[in-house]
A and B are shown apart, each in its own frame.
Chain A
């Protein structure tokens, strides 16, 4: 068991290094020149060259990469912004609470709504209820988050006036963004719960339990659901990644000062260090969440537990 966990944790580091390499390479190849960005439109050739040397922009690619990776992994330093000279990590951490709150509220809401919907559908497969729930789920996964956000604003904020159209500092500002961001995940979770539940209900031990005279309700709730949730946990982990991506758009629609808005704004101002740092940060978070999910999985899945006894 612990061997498995240690193996998974150790495997995280090459992945993170690989992610750093990819993100660094993409932004390294960017045609923009950081020095002229910093010095502005009136800079002289000599001052540009001096700054490039000072920032190490004239060094070979690999030297630059290992310097950056060294800063990231050994000193937890993502560098400083080219625009306002602030520490990138500080910029990220300042906005992180909003994004974490948005993402965790959304994933919680998605699980609370998606799992029961999936169970309801699975209990009566191929009936009108099942078809109805699955049609809803299909609409959910096909809904563009940013469009849904705008529609929610039109209906609930501009027309009915029930919720504010932006900000994230108090609970009634959470409602619309959380609904918008969780819709696709609700659909995905409902679908996977349904199919996993149908699988489980079909298994011998459930049939045995049923034939022993246990009520269907009891079988579903106590036996089947626990086993059916195993793949659902994985999907929730994967949904977190999709959610972080969706948060970029949701945050900018609802003017939430989070990582997504930081990213979009720094793309607009071409603040490469911030773009690089925040993409990296989110990828790291995503990897770590998936690691935790995998470890959780190993605790609840008897097969992995048996394999690494």
Chain B
């Protein structure tokens, strides 16, 4: 209890370290907590899929195709007699890998561009922002579709395609956070003390833009998973034997009248996962927003 009150005090006075701030934000918002808990479960499932899934990812049984849910197959079997539950479990791994890798790439590139742009300002800033204007003028899902259509489908191309659609967004958000931070006094003081740009960027600015980065990463992962499933759904995704939710949906679609479970469950998995990441992102953002905090 006392610790909590102390944290509240520190938070209001703005003297928490960045990591403490994020943890504080999560603890203050139920949504963020629920989201985080669900993400933790998803990560666990993704890592230990082999042990959790009752059947193998590709284990087929042509004598037992399209069976409605039973005790042996809780969510039924698909058109090749594969266990739907197991495919959804393995699909968790596929989705998380795509989401996290795409956002990491976007964050790495967009982050550097945003930092440089917001910190140095001037001509570099103008240049980077104009390029991001152009990138933002193409709806990101269309950009991803164009890239995958051009270079072909597959895991790597898909990750890169989704990442490119997100670079400009990360660059923008980080730039504006950096700009807010650089106006603060301690940065000016560091300048006066003769610290190098690199030192100021890494020691002072980077930690202070942590929260918007986490918020955008969380929302970005949600978008990436949605985009990947969407690409899979229109046939631009991974190859068919890999368990991927969008692909499962699109092949289940042929049976929408007779085997609705093939459409319902993979979609539910996509929705819940996106919901979890959105809850985490929203929760932290609201907790950080000083206006929200007061209420």
The reply, when asked whether chain A contacts chain B directly with Cβ atoms under 8 A, is yes
A interface list, Cβ under 8 A from B: 14-16, 18-19, 21-23, 26-27, 29-31, 125-126, 138-139, 141-147, 150-151, 153-154, 158, 195, 198-199, 202, 241-242, 244-246, 248-249, 252, 263-264, 267-268, 272, 275-276, 279, 282-283, 286-287, 290
Report if A142-B236 is in contact (Cβ < 8 Å); known contacts: A14-B130, A279-B146, A283-B138: no
Among B39-47, B202-210, B270-278, which stretch is in contact with chain A? B270-278
Report if A144-B229 is in contact (Cβ < 8 Å); known contacts: A26-B150, A283-B138: yes
A150 lies within 8 A of B253 (CB): yes
A31 lies within 8 A of B152 (CB): yes
B263 lies within 8 A of A283 (CB): no
Question: Closest residue to B138 on the A side, CB-wise?
Answer: A283
B275 lies within 8 A of A139 (CB): yes
**Pick the contact of B142 from A144, A147, A282 — CB < 8 Å?**
A282
**Cα separation A138 to B279 with both chains bound (whole Å):** 8
Residues of A within 8 A of B230 (CB): 144-146, 249
- Binding site secondary structure of chain A: helix
A–B Cβ pairs within 8 angstroms, 17 of them: A18-B134, A27-B150, A30-B151, A31-B151, A138-B31, A138-B282, A143-B271, A144-B271, A147-B249, A147-B271, A150-B249, A202-B291, A242-B141, A245-B142, A263-B145, A282-B142, A287-B137
A267 lies within 8 A of B145 (CB): yes
B149 lies within 8 A of A267 (CB): yes
Is B3 close to A, CB under 8 A?
no
Is B139 close to A, CB under 8 A?
yes
**Pick the contact of B295 from A125, A158, A244 — CB < 8 Å?**
A125
Taking A15-B137, A141-B278 as known contacts, 19 extra A-B pairs with beta carbons closer than 8 A to each other, sorted by chain A number, are A16-B137, A18-B137, A125-B295, A142-B271, A144-B226, A144-B271, A147-B263, A150-B249, A151-B264, A154-B264, A198-B291, A241-B139, A245-B140, A245-B142, A248-B145, A267-B149, A279-B146, A283-B142, A286-B139
Is B97 close to A, CB under 8 A?
no
Q: Name which of B138, B249, B282, B292 has the most chain A CB atoms within 10 A of its CB.
A: B138
Report if A283-B141 is in contact (Cβ < 8 Å); known contacts: A126-B295, A142-B278, A144-B226: no
A147 lies within 8 A of B152 (CB): no
**Cα separation A2 to B127 with both chains bound (whole Å):** 26
B147 lies within 8 A of A26 (CB): yes
B234 lies within 8 A of A252 (CB): yes
**Cα separation A29 to B256 with both chains bound (whole Å):** 38
Q: How far is the CB of A231 from chain B (nearest CB, A)?
A: 14
Is B257 close to A, CB under 8 A?
yes
B interface list, Cβ under 8 A from A: 31, 130-131, 133-135, 137-143, 145-147, 149-152, 222, 226, 229-230, 233-236, 246, 249, 253, 256-257, 260, 263-264, 267, 270-271, 274-275, 278-279, 282, 291-292, 295
A146 lies within 8 A of B233 (CB): yes
**Cα separation A195 to B290 with both chains bound (whole Å):** 13
Question: Closest residue to A249 on the B side, CB-wise?
Answer: B230
Question: Closest residue to B272 on the A side, CB-wise?
Answer: A142
Residues of A within 8 A of B263 (CB): 147, 150-151, 154
Q: How far is the CB of B36 from chain A (nearest CB, A)?
A: 15
Residues of A within 8 A of B279 (CB): 138
B256 lies within 8 A of A154 (CB): yes
**Cα separation A178 to B45 with both chains bound (whole Å):** 35
B137 lies within 8 A of A144 (CB): no
